[in-house]
Structure 1
Amino acid sequence: MESENSLRERLVDIGVELVTTQGSAALGLREIARRAGVSHGAPRRYFPTHHALLSAIARRGYTELQARFDAAVQGPATPREQLAALTAAYVTFAVENRGMFELMFRHDLLNSEGQATDQPQLRETTLPLFRELVALVARHQAHDAVDRVGEGGEPAVIAAALWSNVHGIAQLWAWGSLPLMLDAPPRDPDRLAELVGAALDAHLGPALR
C-alpha cells in the first residue's frame, strides 16, 4: 500500500508535470486526483486547500531555480559576473518553464496569510532568493565602488529594480513580445543575453573594462 507521504509527493509530481506540459490553468484538484488514481476528495487529506497544493507545486519550481542559481555562481569570480550569471539563469529558467514560472509568481500564493496548512508559506521560499540578489548587489558595490549612476543606492532597492527589469524581460520574451519587437528568433540566446546585459548596465552601471 502506498504511504501517505509518497501519495502526497505523487500528487505534487503530477501537478509539476501538468504545469510543465499544459500550464497553470490545468492544475485542478479533480484532474490531479484523476491522474493519481484517487478520489477527487483525496488530495484534501494532504492539502486542505487548493492554494496549499498549488504552493507545494510552485515550491518545486523554486527548488529548481535555487539549484540553477547555486550552479550559476560557482564559476564567475566577481560579484558583477555572478549577478550576470544569476540573472541569465533566471531568464533561461523562465523561458524553459513558462507554466511553472507563471505559477511561482502568483500573488495569491505568495501572499498566503491565513491559508490552512502546516507547510511552510511560499513566500518563505522566495525571500531567500531575493536576499541572495541583494547580497550580491551589496558585494558588487563594495568590490566596484565608483561614484556613478547605480552604484550608491540602497542594495535592496537596486536589487528590486534589477529583478523587476529581468523578470519583465523573461515574461515578455516567453510571451513572444520581445522577439517580435526586436525581429529575433524565439530561441536566440545571444539576443536574450544582450537584453540581460543591458539591464545589468542600467542598474549597476557599465562594467569596468
Structure 2
Amino acid sequence: MTDGGSLRERLIDVGVDLVLTEGSASVGLREIARRAGVSHGAPRRYFPTHHALLSAIARRGFEDLGARFAAAGAGATTPRGELEALARVHVGYALERRGMFELMWRHDLLDSASQPSEQPKPSDGPRLRESTLPLFGHITALVARCRSERAAAQGTDGPDEAAPPPAVAAAALWSNLHGIAQLWAWGSLQLALGALPLGAGPGDDQRDQLITAVLDAHLGPVAS
C-alpha cells in the first residue's frame, strides 16, 4: 500500500473510532486531522466533502457487517436458518456498535445519488450504495427461496401470488429488525415486555423470540 493509501486508511481508522465512541455527529475533517496528527488540509486530499468522509467510515461498517453475515450464514442448512442467523447478527451488531449502525443507514448524510455528483479519485473506490445494496439483495434472495421451499413442502404449484414481492417482504422484515434494535437500545421493548436489563440472559432470549416472531410474520412459521 502506498503512503497515501496508508494515510487514507489511518484517517478512516480515526473516524471509525470517533463514530464508535462519540457518534457520527462528532466526525469532522478537522477533528480527524487533529487526532491523526496531520495538517487540517490533509484529509481533503482523500475526502473532498464531509459526505465522502462519512461514507468511507460507513463502508467499513458494511464490510464488517458483511463479514459477520457470511460467518453466521455459513453453518445454515436452509434459507430460513440463514435468515434467522443474519437477523440475530443484524440486531446484535446494532446493539454492540450503535454509533456505526446508526451512521450506516443514514443515506441522507452519506455519499449517495441524492448528494451532488463528484468525480471520485481512484482510491475512493465504489460509491457506498455499491457496498450496501448487495446485502439487501442477498436477504431478498433468501426470502424468495424460503417461499419456494414452503410452497414445495405444502405441495402447491408455487409461492402465494397474493403475497408481496420478495423485495417488499425483505424490506418489511428488515424494517422490523431495525425497529427491534432501535427500540431495544432505547429500553422501550424491555419496558413493554418486562425484560431484564440489556446484557442479562433472559433479555437475549426475548430478543430471539422477537426475531422469530418477525420471521414468522413475514415468512410463515416453521412447519413442525
TM-score (norm 1): 0.93
Identity across matched positions, percent: 61
Q: C-alpha deviations, 1:153-204, integer Å up to 9, x for none?
A: 3111111110111111111112222222222222221111111111101111
Residue 167 (str. 1) matches residue 178 (str. 2): yes
Counterpart-to-counterpart distance in 1, 2:168 and 2:146: 14
Aligned runs of 1:117-128 on 2, under 5 Å?
A: 117-118=119-120, 119=124, 120-128=126-134
Distance 1:154-1:27 versus aligned 2 partners, 3 A rule: same
Q: How far apart are residue 152 of structure 1 and its match?
A: 3.9
- Residue in 1 aligned with 2:215? 200
Distance 1:11-1:115 versus aligned 2 partners, 3 A rule: farther
Unaligned runs of at least 5 residues, structure 2: none
Counterpart-to-counterpart distance in 2, 1:131 and 1:107: 17
Task: For CA contacts below 8 A with separation 6 or more, give which structure has more relative contact order.
Answer: 1
Counterpart-to-counterpart distance in 2, 1:3 and 1:86: 37
Aligned runs of 1:69-148 on 2, under 5 Å?
A: 69-108=69-108, 109=110, 111-112=112-113, 113-118=115-120, 119=124, 120-145=126-151, 146=154
Q: How far apart are residue 21 of structure 1 and its match?
A: 1.2
Distance 1:139-1:74 versus aligned 2 partners, 3 A rule: same
- Residue in 1 aligned with 2:167? 156
2:52–2:111: 8 Å Cα contact kept in structure 1? no
1:29–1:50: 8 Å Cα contact kept in structure 2? yes
Distance 1:151-1:61 versus aligned 2 partners, 3 A rule: farther
Coordinate RMSD, CA, aligned = 1.9
Q: How far apart are residue 149 of structure 1 and its match?
A: 8.0
Moved over 6 A (4+): 147-151
TM-score (norm 2): 0.87
Counterpart-to-counterpart distance in 1, 2:33 and 2:80: 46
Q: C-alpha deviations, 1:135-160, integer Å up to 9, x for none?
A: 10111111111479899431111111
Counterpart-to-counterpart distance in 1, 2:173 and 2:162: 13
Aligned residue pairs total 208
- Residue in 1 aligned with 2:43? 43
Residue 65 (str. 1) matches residue 65 (str. 2): yes
